[in-house]
Amino acid sequence: MSGNSAVGEAAVLAGCTAYFGYPITPQNELTEHMAKRIVEVPGGVFIQSESEIAAINMVLGASAAGARAMTSSSGPGISLKQEGISYLAADELPAVIVNMMRGGPGMGNISPAQSDYLQATRGGGHGDYRTIVLAPASVQEAADLVYVAFDLADTYRNPVVILGDGMLGQMMEPVTFTTAAPRKEYPKEYVLSGASGRPSRMIRSLLFDTKEEEEHNWKLFRKYQLMEHNEVRYETFLLDDADMAVLAYGIAARIAKGAIKRLRQEGLKVGLIRPITLWPFPMKIIQETAKQLGDFFVFEMSTGQMIEDVKLALEGKGHIHFYGRPGGVIPTPVELSRIIARHCYQSQRSKKR
Partner 1 sequence: MLIRTIFSGFGGQGVLSMGYTVANTAMLEGKYVTYLPSYGVEVRGGTANCTVVVSDEEIASPVASDPEFVVVMNQPSFFRFQSILQSGGLICVNSSIVDTSCARGDIEVVVVPTSELAEKLGTIKVANMIMMGAFIKASNIVSFDFLMKHMAEILGEGKAKLTKVNREALQLGFDYVKE
Partner 2 sequence: MKTVYCRPKCMKEAHFHYCPGCGHGVITRLIAEVVDEMELRDKTICVAPAGCGMLLYNYFDIDTIESAHGRGAAVATGIKRVRPENLVFSYQGDGDLAAIGTAEGFHAANRGELISVIFVNNGVYGMTGGQMAPTTMLEQVTTTSPAGRDSVLQGHPVKICEVYATLDGTSYLERVAVNKPAAIIKTKKAIAKAFRHQQQKTGFSLVEILSPCPTNWKMSPLDSCRWVDDVMTKVFPLGLIKETKKC
Give the whole-angstrom CA distance, residue 178 versus residue 141.
Answer: 11
Sign of CA dihedral 263, 290, 307, 153: positive
Give 233 or 254: the residue with its C-beta nearer to partner 1: 254
Binding residues (CB under 8 A) for partner 2: these are 17-18, 20, 43, 45, 47, 49-51, 53-55, 57-67, 69, 83-84, 87, 91, 192-197, 199-206
For 324-346, give the DSSP string.
E--TT----HHHHHHHHHHHHHH
Single-letter code of the amino acid located at 219:
K
Q: How far apart are CA 213 and CA 205, in angstroms?
A: 8
325 binds partner 1 (CB under 8 A): no
Distance CA 285, CA 234 (A): 9
Q: How far apart are CA 210 and CA 202, in angstroms?
A: 19
How many CA atoms within 13 Å lie on the side-chain side of 4? 26
For partner 1, what does the binding mask look like between residues 102 and 141, x meaning CB under 8 A? -------xxx------------------------------
Binding site partner of 311, from partner 1, partner 2, none, Cβ cut-off 5-8 A by kind: none
Contacts of residue 348, Cβ cutoff 8 Å, sequence gap at least 6: 243
Q: Quote the least distance from Cβ 18 to partner 2, whole Å.
A: 6
Q: Which is nearer to partner 1, 121 or 337 (CB)?
A: 337
3-state secondary structure of 138: coil
**Which region among 62-70, 117-125, 306-314, 330-338 touches partner 1 (by CB under 8 A)?**
330-338
DSSP letters for 86-113: HHHHHHT--EEEEEEEBS-STT--SSB-
In the complex, minimum distance from the CB of residue 326 to partner 2, in angstroms, rounded to a whole number: 32
Contacted by 210, from partner 1, partner 2, none: CB < 5 to 8 Å by type: none
Distance CA 47, CA 71 (A): 10
45 touches which of partner 1, partner 2, none (CB within 5 to 8 A by kind)?
A: partner 2
Q: How far apart are CA 78 and CA 70, in angstroms?
A: 13
Interface with partner 1 includes 43 (CB under 8 A)? Answer: no
Stretch near partner 1 under the rule CB under 8 A, chosen from 33-41, 46-54, 218-226, 255-263? 255-263
CB 255 to partner 1: min, Å: 5
Distance CA 274, CA 343 (A): 19
Binder of partner 1 out of 261, 269, 311, 338 (CB under 8 A) = 261
Burial (CB count within 10 angstroms: exposed 0-12, middle 13-18, buried 19+), residue 25: middle
Residue 17 near partner 1 by CB under 8 A? no
Which of 44, 76, 258, 294 lies at the binding interface for partner 1 (CB under 8 A)? 258
Selection from partner 2, partner 1, none that 43 binds (CB < 5 to 8 A by kind) is partner 2
Pick between residue 20 and residue 296 the one whose CB is nearest to partner 2. 20
Q: Which does residue 193 touch among partner 2, partner 1, none (CB within 5 to 8 A, set by kind)?
A: partner 2
Binding site for partner 1 (CB under 8 A): 25-26, 109-111, 166-167, 170-174, 251, 254-259, 261, 330, 332-335
